[in-house]
Amino acid sequence: MPPAVPRRLADNLKLLPALALAAAATALGGCGGGGGGDEAKGKQLFTQKCGACHVLENAGTKGVQGPNLDLAFEKSIQDGLGRSTIEGVVKEQIKLPQGGVMPAKLVTGSDADAVAAYVAAAIGKKGGATGGGPSGTAKANAQNVVSIPTDPTGQLAYQFKSATAKAGKVTVESKNASSVPHDIALQGGPSGSVVQGGAVSKFTANLKPGSYTFYCTVPGHEQAGMKGTLTIK
């Protein structure tokens, strides 16, 4: 029989209804603990597969459907819970999710090991210098083409939070250097193709003066923060 889950850890996991206490007990019993997964690969996979649902500051994700992972384990880490134990809990949740929202085996094998290792290491830590949320305003060039690239590290974000262009024929393009698929679209209007690996998503529209919202149509990405304002003057 696995040992009982410590009271403080159990209280913390109430913030994470998707996690089963049985999984935590198994991890604490020494099964499914740290496996030395590739954390760099795990960050990329987490951003792509999980970021639309979960908040994790280190990854720059702002999902709204699942629990905030930083908050869920904050008290347990303060109380000295080992990150290898958290890694085991995350790995068990990936394998056998509880709550009926997260699909089973979203990642498997070494990919699951990588995600679990990354999440355990990243909880409560600031993002790296290579990350970056949207900032500043993208301005159209002489041909009235405005470039709004995505975050190159794979975070669910564009590099600009706003853009400006002249009224008339406007082309909006978004280069996506990461492996996480993205596109760019205008709410109520046209959209570019979903791209990755250095390709460019773009659309052209005839726009009157006013404010428009650009966003990523990949499910969950807009909700995670991939949107901004296009001002036409």
* Distance of alpha carbon 33 from alpha carbon 43, whole angstroms: 19
Inside any domain, residue 129:
no
Handedness of CA 106, 104, 111, 86 (dihedral sign): positive
Looking at the structure of the chain, the number of domains it has is 2
User: What's 196's domain CATH number?
Assistant: 2.60.40.420
pTM above 0.85, yes or no: no
Inside any domain, residue 132:
no
User: What's 67's domain CATH number?
Assistant: 1.10.760.10
Range of the domain at 60: 7-122
pLDDT of residue 171: 98
Predicted confidence (pLDDT) per residue in 48-90, tens digit: 788 878 888 888 787 777 888 989 888 888 888 888 888 998 9
pLDDT of residue 195: 96
Amino acid residing at 178: S
Q: What is the mean pLDDT of the chain?
A: 80
Predicted confidence (pLDDT) per residue in 132-191, tens digit: 457 789 999 999 999 999 988 777 889 999 999 999 999 999 999 988 899 999 999 999
Inside any domain, residue 65:
yes
> Who contacts 229 (Cβ-Cβ below 8 Å, separation ≥6)?
161, 162, 163, 211, 212, 213, 214
Do residues 191 and 154 both lie within one domain?
yes
- Structure tokens that stand for 34 in this block: 């740290």
Inside any domain, residue 178:
yes
Do residues 82 and 141 both lie within one domain?
no
Do residues 102 and 200 both lie within one domain?
no
